């Protein structure tokens, strides 16, 4: 007999429990980077400027429970929102599952470690600046948050 399949392979986003939903976040921090929507074209530009609540080392929100009170435009992700917004990074587990893809090898639910997202170069660790220090967002436009990263597997140490 085979092992039971993981929940993300058997449930839709809508069917997941709160704990399952929260565990899908890989901790990359890309969704916490500011984005600019151009009024004239509607085009989206990504920046490397992180929300003031994002811990730039752990890539976790420093006040997750109260984040929407402290940052009113913080988006609360649910299945409908995930399917309707255009700015989630292509590496995002919520987006990948909504598109019928599986989780990547570096995702903590697959790897068993919260560090693989950083080791693989997926997270914002070492690549983002806090909004408290950034200055004008227009000076921080970058391409990488909106691209599917070429994840590098860590080398095995002997």
Residue-wise pLDDT for 43-58, tens only, equals: 999 999 999 999 999 9
pLDDT on residue 158: 36
Residues 6+ apart with CB under 8 A from 71: 51, 52, 53
- Structure pTM? 0.87
The percentage of residues in the chain with a pLDDT greater than 70, rounded to a whole number, is: 93
Tell me what pLDDT residue 154 has. Answer: 59
Give the tens place of pLDDT for each residue, 101-155.
999 999 999 999 999 999 999 999 999 999 999 999 999 999 888 887 776 665 5
Please compute the mean of the pLDDT values over residues 78-95 and round it to a whole number.
93
Tokens of 121: 């170069």
């Amino acid at each position: 007999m085979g092992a039971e399949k993981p929940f993300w392979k058997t449930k839709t986003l809508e069917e997941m429990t709160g704990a399952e939903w929260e565990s899908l976040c890989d901790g990359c921090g890309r969704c916490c980077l500011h984005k600019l929507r151009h009024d004239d074209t509607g085009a989206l530009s990504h920046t490397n400027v992180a929300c003031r609540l994002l811990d730039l080392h752990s890539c976790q929100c420093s006040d997750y429970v109260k984040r929407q009170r402290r940052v009113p435009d913080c988006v609360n992700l649910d299945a409908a929102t995930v399917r309707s917004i255009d700015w989630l990074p292509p590496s995002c587990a919520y987006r990948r599952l909504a598109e019928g893809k599986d989780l990547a090898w570096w995702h903590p639910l697959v790897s068993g470690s919260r560090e693989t997202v950083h080791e693989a170069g997926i997270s914002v660790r070492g690549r983002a600046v806090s909004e408290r220090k950034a200055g004008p967002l227009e000076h921080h436009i970058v391409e990488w948050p909106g691209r599917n990263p070429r994840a590098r597997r860590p080398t095995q140490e002997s």
